[in-house]
């Protein structure tokens, strides 16, 4: 059992050491990372729907002035 733990920690150390030499992203390479398609919430309608479902389930309106019963039928 001890050898397995030692082997796993050795492999993890080697993987982390391999990632340390990657360097930083240059300024001209950041343009591709700032595209709207690279965000987690790229669909505004889907984000609004998920927020509505969360608000309905939690029964908290967040100061919108609308109260609901938690069923989503406000």
43 φ/ψ sector (left φ>0, alpha ψ -120 to 50, else beta):
beta
Please report the pLDDT score of residue 37 as a whole number: 75
pLDDT at 7 over 90: yes
- Whether the Cβ atoms of residue 32 and residue 25 lie closer than 8 Å to each other: no
pLDDT at 71 over 80: no
- Report the distance separating Cα 47 and Cα 55, nearest Å: 12
- Report the distance separating Cα 68 and Cα 57, nearest Å: 9
Please report the pLDDT score of residue 47 as a whole number: 84
Residues 30-62: pLDDT tens digits? 887 777 777 777 788 888 888 888 877 766 555
Per-residue tokens: 60: 């908290």
Please report the pLDDT score of residue 1 as a whole number: 82
Give this prediction's pTM: 0.33
């Amino acid at each position: 059992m001890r050898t397995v733990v030692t082997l796993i920690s050795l492999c993890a150390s080697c993987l982390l050491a391999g990632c340390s030499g990657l360097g930083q992203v240059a300024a001209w390479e950041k343009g591709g990372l700032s595209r709207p398609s690279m965000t987690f919430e790229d669909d505004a309608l889907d984000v609004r729907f998920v927020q509505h479902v969360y608000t309905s389930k939690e029964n908290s309106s967040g100061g919108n002035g609308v109260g609901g019963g938690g069923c989503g039928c406000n």
